[in-house]
Amino acid sequence: MVAITAAMIAGYIVLPVHDSAMLPIWLAVVVTVLTVAGAAVYARWSIMRSQFPMLRELQTIAFIVSLSIIGFAAVYASVAYADEAAFSEPLDRIGALYLSVVTASTVGFGDIHARSDSARIAVMLQIVTSIGLVGVAVQMIRRASARRSADVHGDG
């Protein structure tokens, strides 16, 4: 998983997110959301077949969170390139990654914020995706705790 996450970061740094003709912004958002959803579906299948499902769950949540953060950073960089006034300040790749991490973590420092409708839509989708990922992580932890309790008390 570490190698895959490193490859995603390298791809984010190398791939041309500034070429609006390459991928329309709305399509970049759809691709990001569908990729995260697809990774979650595949992960569920992978966890069910794993010899160590709790470890696979932790790896999976880390991977999906990384994928979401990097995907939305690419969207933010594309939006910022297409419309310099989309955010409160110009965003380069690092600025877009920073905004994505701050948004995903729900810290919301307020130093960078969306000004255009397309930027606001992208930020709202990331917030909804992040809330969903937190819900999935909590569910995984509760399920792992219940399994551990059943193992300790001989219920399973």
pLDDT digits over 13-51, tens only?
777 665 554 456 677 777 777 877 777 777 777 777 777
Residue type for position 44: R
* The CATH number fitting domain 50-156, selected from 3.50.50.60, 1.10.287.70, 2.40.50.140, 1.25.40.10: 1.10.287.70
pLDDT above 90 coverage of the chain, percent: 22
Rounded Cα–Cα distance for residues 44 and 56 (Å):
9
Q: Domain residue spans in the chain?
A: 50-156
pLDDT tens per residue, range 59-75: 778 888 888 899 899 88
pTM here? 0.77
Q: Which two tokens stand for residue 154?
A: 């001989």
CB 73 within 8 A of CB 108: no
User: What pLDDT shows up at residue 109?
Assistant: 87
CB atoms within 10 A of CB 63: 18
Which residues have C-beta within 8 Å of that of residue 108, sequence separation ≥ 6? Answer: 102
